[in-house]
Amino acid sequence: MIDENRSLVLIVGAAALLHAVLGVIGLSDQSLWLDEVMSISIATSNLEEAARWFSFLPEQHPFYYLVAKVWLSLFGTTEAALRSLSLLFGVVTIPLFFILVRDLLGKVQGCAAALLLASSPFWLYYSQEGRMYTLLVFLVVWASILAFKEMRTQDLKEVGLPWAYWCVAIVGMYTHVFFAFVVLAHAVAMLIRSSDWRHNVSRALLMGFPVLVAYLPWLWLILTNMPEGQSWKNLTHVLFGVPYTLTRFAIGYGVLPANYRWKEHVGESLIEDAPFLVVVILAHAILFIRGGMVLAGCTRESRVFLASALLVPLLVPLALAPIMILSGERYFLVVLPAYLSILSAGIVAYLTPGRHRLLRAAVPALLLLATARAVAAYQTNPDYGKEQWREVVARIETQSTPGSTLVVVAPDMSLRPLRYYLKEPSNLEVVGWKPGLELEGAEETIWIIVTRLLDPAAVESSIPDDWIETERELYPNSTGIWLLRFEQNEAGSDSASRGLPHLE
């Protein structure tokens, strides 16, 4: 028993170490993008500023920013400092995930699940992003361990108040709105765990109702400051949200990188990566289906818990689409533990001694090779990356004369990442663009930065007639950044002749 426990510790520890090493590589290579800079802005703001942030963006929940505030006060506000907090939760989630899967399916499956999470290119991405997502999943796994423990308590004399679950679930609710679907999944699992409906209903209410009551103040804030729907989220995100999410679970973001105008080249990319995509999707599908078959032989509690944890957070947001489109693979991270749990059951089943063992082992081997390929693509694919603010600012600063240069940023929300990378003190005049903005009075150079898929032609009317475009460059990573340079035309020219093209 001691040797077995030591082996388990070594395997899970190796998995956590593997993820830590992968996460450290290139941790600060990419520029911070808009949302990451927002993380720093909110976390370093005072109480009054934070209240304004949350009143304006109530969908942002405060717990992550409280943790980040402490972390950044200790380690600074660099790219590595911000992202290392996410990496920390990315690493510590791995042993916690082992505990969850061990309780649900067994020790061997727990080890397989820990290794799957540690090597996941999808999980690696969020371990290197300065946002709340790895903290969110850490809390999902922790709450799931406690919820499953409550489900297995059959003796009514042993039933007590689930204080630990309440604490973790309330913190999770104040981390991200999608945690509500996790709590709902736990309640559904509790309701259908056995035929004792009266007891099931009372336990489900006891677990979930105090969490809802504790969340009511923030729910009121959201309802009274309802955020506007994002225009780029449409019916396509509802129809393809789940299959796209499951594909990203398998391949991460290094393969088929969703950069600027990627939709124009998606056909070519699919053809180019077709052999890899077929292998990775087939391997995941076969192992997931096999894992589902394994669940049929597990306890009822394990079956209903994993089914609820996977389906409820996927399907309920889709059902809410007529009210507000919530689909997004980063939000669906809350189902990643359930998905990998079922996948781990399939892997162990295929590696179990029996007939045609070598043939059956080929499927997990293909998954291993495909995962290695996806992680390598994440680290090396030149077409993948976050918004390139560091490069944009370096270009402007090396090509500008202080005191005679104006920088216009469209839309003005992108001022924050620009200012984050400007050297201090900066002598450049920086303004945010809004319709009707007049730029009369600029001296020698005007730089136009156009982001968030905004049409550069919309900014053209702001440029005085005696200025001509002398430079244009696209920084294509993520949604892309257009950098345009204008110089004053001494001879004068018709601004309409510049003809800035519209972006699709």
Lowest mean pLDDT among 77-86, 120-129, 389-398, 457-466: 457-466
CA distance 358 to 362: 7
Q: What pLDDT does 499 receive? A: 42
Write down the pLDDT at residue 4.
74
403: number of Cβ within 10 Å:
10
At 349, is the pLDDT very low, low, confident or very high (cuts 50, 70, 90)? very high
d(CA 250, CA 281): 7
Q: Where are the domains of the chain?
A: 2-380, 389-498
Q: What confidence score (pLDDT) does residue 467 get?
A: 87
Does the predicted TM-score (pTM) go above 0.85?
Answer: yes
* pLDDT, tens digit, 9 for 90 and up, residues 224-252: 887 666 665 666 767 788 899 999 999 99
Q: Which contiguous run of DSSP H or E holds residue 407?
A: strand 405-410
Selected residue with higher pLDDT from 251 and 270: 251
Least confident of 109-113, 331-335, 437-441, 498-502: 498-502
* Contact status, residue 479 vs residue 260, Cβ threshold 8 Å: yes
390: its two tokens: 């560091």
- Write out the H or E segment, with its range, that includes residue 374: helix 357-380
Sheet holding 405-410, edge to edge: 429-432, 405-410, 445-450, 481-488, 467-475
**What's the pLDDT at 241?**
84
CA distances from 246 to 19, 66, 113, 169 (A): 21, 31, 17, 25
Whole-number Cα distances in Å, 190 to 196, 197, 206, 300, 484: 10, 10, 11, 11, 58
